[in-house]
Amino acid sequence: MSPSEPVEPPAPVSFWQAFAYWLKLGFISFGGPAGQIALMHQELVERRRWISEKRFLHALNYCMLLPGPEAQQLATYIGWLMHRSWGGIAAGVLFVLPSLFILIGLSWAYMAYGHVPAVAGLLYGVKPAVTAIVLFAAWRIGSRVLKNAWLWAIAVAAFVAIFALRLPFPLIVLSAGAIGYFGSRFAPAYFAPGGGHGAAAASAGPALIDDDTPTPAHARFGWGRFARVLAVFLLLWLGALGTLAALYGWNGALAQMGWFFTKAALLTFGGAYAVLPYVFQGAVDHYHWLSATQMIDGLALGETTPGPLIMVVSFVGFVGGWGQALFGPQALFAAGAAAAAVVTFFTFLPSFLFILLGGPFIESTHGNLKFTAPLTAITAAVVGVIVNLAVFFAYHVLWPAGLSGPFEIPSALIGALAAVALFRFKAGVIPVVLGSALAGMAWQLFLH
C-alpha cells in the first residue's frame, strides 16, 4: 500500500481478544518499565492500532505521576478504556499473574535447594551483579532528573537522611514532595521535569481510540460511579485484611504483611528501586521476615522474571511465610505461596484503585498534567535513596562477615565486570545477571 492511500481503521476488538493479548504480555514483559512500555507502544499503537499515540502518552503521563508500577497501571488504563472495569482488571491482573507463579516456583527452589553448591555458586555471582544494577539504576534516574544544584542538593540530603540519620523512607518522600511544591512557587524553573515522553510522533493510522474519539460513557466522571468504585475497593481491602486478622491475629505475619505492603504500595514513587529501601527497613530490620542476603537474592530473581520489578515483594512474602512456618513444618510451601499471594494482592490493589477511580478525571481533559514539581523533587530524593541501597548491598556482598571479616575479592571482580557491562557496553540486565551467575558458579565449584 502506498503512503498516499488511506489506512482503514482496525476492526473492533472483543474482550477475549484483548484478554489473549494481556495474557501474552504477562509472559513476555521483560526489560523493566521502559522495556514494557516500549513493548506496549509498539504493539498497541503501531501494529494493532488499538489506541492513538496521543491518547497513549496522555495515559502514560498520568501513570507516571502515580505511586506503583507505571507499566502495569498503563495496561490497566488501556484495558479499562477499551472494555470497562473488567477490561482494566483483566489487563492489570494478567500483567502480574505469570510473574507471581514463576516467582513462587523460583522462591521454592531457592528455599529448598539454595544450599546446594551449584545453586549457592549461582547466587554468589548474582549478588555483586545486583549491586551494580542498583547503582546503574541510580545513575540512569539521576542523569535524567538531576539537572541543577537544587535537585542535586535534594538527592544528597536524601542519602544523608537515610544512610546517616536513619530517617524513615516515607518522611523523606513527604519532605521532598513539600520542597518540590514550595519550590514550584518560588523557583519554578529549577523544578521543571528533567525529561518526559515528548510530543506524539507521527500517527500510525486511524486507531480504535483515536485522538478525536469521544470518551466512552463508562469513562466519564460521575460522583455516583466514584462513590461505588471507592466503596468496592475499601470493602475488598478491609475484608481481606479483616479476614487475615480474624483467622491469624492482627499481629500474625499475614495480617502484618497486608498492612505493611499496603503502605509500601502508596510510596512507590519513582519505581521499584525507590520503595526497596522501605521494604528493607520493614521486612528485614523490623519484622525479620528474611535476611539482608535473602533480600539481595530475591531482587536478583525479580530481575530475571517478566512483570514489574516490584514483584520482588512476592519473594519477600514467600520467604517470610516459609521461614515462619505459618501453617506448620509440614506445609512450608503452602505457607510461602499463601504469603506471596497476600503480599501481591495488597501491593497491587491500590494500583487498580488509582486507575479506575482517577481515570475519568484524566479522560475529562487531554491536556498536559501540571502536577510535576513535587514528583521531580521526590524523584531527585529517590536517587539518593537508591545510592544508599547500593552501598547497603555492597557492604553485605563484599564484607559478608562485617568490616572486621575478609574482603570478597571474587565478588568485587564480578561486580566490577557487571558494572562495566552495564555502564560501558549498555548490556541488558538479564545477560548481566546470567553471566555473573555462571561466573559465581565457576568460582565456587572449580576455583574456590
The answer to whether position 199 is within a domain reads no
d(CA 37, CA 56) in angstroms, rounded, equals: 10
Residue 6, domain member (yes or no):
no
How far apart, in whole angstroms, are the C-alpha atoms of residue 200 and residue 215?
19
The residue to which cell 516490584 is assigned:
310
Give phi and psi for 308, each to the nearest 5. -65, 145
Nearest to 385 by CA among 64, 146, 140, 160: 160
Is residue 217 assigned to a domain? no
State the DSSP H helix or E strand holding residue 161, giving kind and residue range, or none if neither: helix 149-163
Q: Going by C-beta distance under 8 Å and a sequence separation of 6 or more, which residues neighbour residue 340?
A: 100, 103, 104, 107, 314, 315, 317, 318, 321
Residue 284 lies in a domain: yes
349 within domain boundaries: yes
Q: Which domain holds residue 84?
A: 15-194+205-211+222-447
- How long a stretch of residues is the chain? 448
How many CB atoms are located within 10 Å of the residue 45 CB? 24
**Cβ burial, residue 217 (10 Å; 0-12/13-18/19+):** exposed
In a domain, 5, yes or no: no
* Locus of grid cell 500517527: 203
Residue 332 is placed in which grid cell? Answer: 512450608
Written as tens digits, the pLDDT of the chain (448 aa) is 445 455 677 889 999 999 999 999 998 786 567 668 878 888 898 889 999 888 887 788 788 777 888 889 999 999 999 999 999 999 999 999 999 999 999 999 999 988 788 888 888 898 898 888 888 878 877 887 888 999 999 999 999 998 999 887 778 888 998 998 898 888 888 887 654 444 444 556 788 888 888 888 888 888 999 999 999 999 999 999 999 999 999 999 999 999 999 998 887 665 666 677 788 889 998 999 999 889 888 887 887 788 888 899 999 999 999 999 999 999 999 999 999 999 999 999 999 999 999 999 888 755 444 556 787 888 788 788 888 878 888 888 899 888 888 999 999 999 999 999 999 998 887 788 889 989 999 998 887 6
Neighbours of 267 (CB within 10 A): 20
Distance from C-alpha of 315 to C-alpha of 277, rounded to nearest angstrom:
15
Question: Does a structural domain hold residue 66?
Answer: yes
**Cα–Cα distance measured from residue 11 to residue 25, given in angstroms and rounded to the nearest whole number:** 21
Q: Can you list the pairs that 56-65 forms with residues at least 24 positions away whose Cβ atoms lie under 8 Å? A: 57/197, 57/198, 57/200, 58/362, 58/366, 59/362, 60/197, 61/196, 61/197, 61/368, 61/369, 62/358, 62/359, 62/362, 62/369, 63/355, 64/197, 64/375, 65/369, 65/371, 65/372, 65/375
Note whether residue 1 is domain-resident. Answer: no
The amino acid sitting at 131 is T
CA 389/CA 159 separation, integer angstroms:
9
Of 304, 348, 324, residue with least CA distance to 436: 304
In terms of phi and psi (left: phi > 0; alpha: psi -120 to 50; beta: otherwise), the region of 427 is beta
Q: Give the total number of structural domains in the chain.
A: 1
Backbone dihedral region of 202: left (phi > 0), alpha (psi from -120 to 50 degrees) or beta? beta
Contact status, residue 369 vs residue 61, Cβ threshold 8 Å:
yes
Please provide residue 51's backbone torsions phi and psi, each rounded to the nearest 5 degrees: -145, 145
